[in-house]
Amino acid sequence: MKIAFIGLGNMGLPMALNLARAGHDVTGFDVAGVTSDAFASAASAAEAARGTAVVITMLPNGDILRAVADEVIPAMDQGAVLLDCSTVDVASARDVAERARAARLGALDAPVSGGTGGAEAGTLTFMVGGDADAFETAKPLFEIMGQKAVHCGASGNGQAAKICNNMILGITMIGTCEAFALADKLGLDRQAMFDVVSTSSGQSWSMNTYCPAPGVGPKSPADNDYKPGFAADLMLKDLRLAQQAAEQADADTPLGAAARDLYAAFVDTEDGAGRDFSAMLPRFEGRGRG
């Protein structure tokens, strides 16, 4: 399949490399000038998009996605698929999909879970919104770049699934970190805490798989001085997107709002920038109730 890949950052580059290594004809473009010997490079997004069956984008935010869509949609052949793997606001995803369909293109919003490690290993999970026919076209690519792709329904629903999932993740990580900090102050050993909670009703992915306490549970970023597997900055981005969507949908999400505010303080005014999102635990360790 002839593919354009727009956005060759920490996630996009390994995804594009996996497609090229699987035998697809990939042309890449990135505004930072990132290139690879494994695939062709274009001088612009529009140049990369011409004559392709699928254009994949992996971009930082909705405004940039809209701008790239303005450039690539007119360059794409009718019947081609615009596959956006960025994590952006639902409104931007739906606007771009509507413009793509007006140009007789297929359109998918397919944000990912799995981080840079999943991008490199080809084990990402894709949450996909958009046309069923476009999903079928892209399915072989999802199978190369990831381990699972779930069709969530209409355009924008991939973004909706991603931000709802990550709102749960942000809330549960904060709860897990709060509980460990309280256990410390009550004199409860962390290993005992893990052994109880990981097999009881308090268990969660944040506790069982990605434990924020160093030396407890499976190896996680906590065991590497909280160097990011999933950066607190990115969690804050997703929590802000979730609250933006909640405001637009008139949904009451008080815990999501509280999680956003805590991560905003952690990243913007404390020492959370550039650290893993589980570094909330040392934050709570050093704080009293006041």
Give the catalytic positions in this structure.
162
Contacts of residue 113, defined as CB under 8 A and 6 or more positions apart, other chains included, come to: 124, 125, 127, 162, 165
Contact 242, 257 (CB under 8 A): no
Contacts of residue 186, defined as CB under 8 A and 6 or more positions apart, other chains included, come to: none
Closest CA to 84 of 155, 161, 13, 164: 155
At 118, give phi and psi (nearest 5°): -70, -35
Closest CA to 158 of 255, 73, 241, 72: 241
* 47: enclosing H helix or E strand: helix 45-49
Question: What is the distance, to the nearest Å, from the Cα of residue 75 to the centroid of all Cα atoms in its chain?
Answer: 27
Query: CA-to-CA distance for 280 and 34, rounded, in angstroms?
Result: 33
- Helix, strand, coil shares of the chain, percent, nearest 5, are 50, 15, 35
146 strand-pairing partners: 124
148 strand-pairing partners: 125
